[in-house]
Amino acid sequence: MNYAIYAISTGKIESLQYEDRRPMESALNKKPIQEKMWLSRTGFVEDEQEYKDHGGPEKAVCLYSKAHYAMWQDVIDPLPDSALFGENITVYAIDETKLFFGDQYRLGDAIIEVSEIREPCWKLQSKYGYPRLVKEMSKSGKTGCYFRVIKEGFVSPNSQLSLIKHAPESTRLSVQELNDIYYNDRKNKERIANALNNPYLTVKRKSVLEKMLSKATTNN
C-alpha cells in the first residue's frame, strides 16, 4: 500500500508570539524540504525540537493527514497548505483507524515504524487562537501519530509512504483505538488491558496505561 505525500517538512526552534500571548520557543512553523535529507534515529537532520516531550528516538517523525485539514477550515484562517500542526509528514489521505502500532513503512531509503500517539499541546491553541483546539482534536482521535526510525536513510521531497510490514493481528492496536481509550474512555479496564498487550508501545506509554489501569481498578 502506497500513500502519496503532500509535503515533508522540517523547522528550527524560534521564539514565537501570537497576539498578546506569552512568547514561546517552538519549531512549530515547519517548511517543506526542497532537497533530499538524512533521516536519523532521532529525526530529520534539519528538524529541531524544543523540549523533552517532542522528538527523540520514539517520536522521531510526526505525521498528520491532509484529509483532516477540512476539520479546521472554519476555525483556522488562513489554513496552511502543509505542516498545519507542525507535522513532518503531511500525507494526502491516511486515517488513524488504519495506522497500527508496529506497522512499518518505507520512506525514501529509510524505514519507519508507528510508535506513539500525538498529544496536542497548548502551543497549537496559542498559534491559532482557538481555545477548544486541543480538546476537539484529542476527542476526535484525529491527532496524527509518531514514528520511530528502524533504518536510517535519505528522504526526498517526492518520496512516498509505503506500507511494507503489518503488525501481528493478534495484538494489533490502531492509533484511533489508543486515542479513544486515552482521551475518552480512561476507566475501561478491558480496553486498557488489551492495549497493554501491544509490544510496540513506548515504555512511557505503557507506564501511563499501567497507571490508568491501576486507577480504574481501584475506583471500581
Q: Are 44 and 20 in contact (CB under 8 A)?
A: no
SS3 call for 185: coil
CA distance 182 to 6: 29
CA distance 66 to 134: 18
Q: What is the mean pLDDT of residues 36-55?
A: 84
CA distance 168 to 51: 33
The pTM of the full predicted model, rounded to 2 decimals, is 0.94
Q: Are 181 and 117 in contact (CB under 8 A)?
A: no
Q: Which of 3-17, 20-34, 94-108 has the lowest mean pLDDT?
A: 20-34
Q: Match 534539519 to its residue by C-alpha cell.
A: 46
15 has pLDDT over 80? no
Per-residue pLDDT tens over the stretch 94-134 = 999 999 999 999 999 999 999 999 999 888 888 888 999 99
Q: Are 71 and 140 in contact (CB under 8 A)?
A: yes
Which structural domains are found in the chain, ordered by start?
A: 2-167 (2.40.33.20)
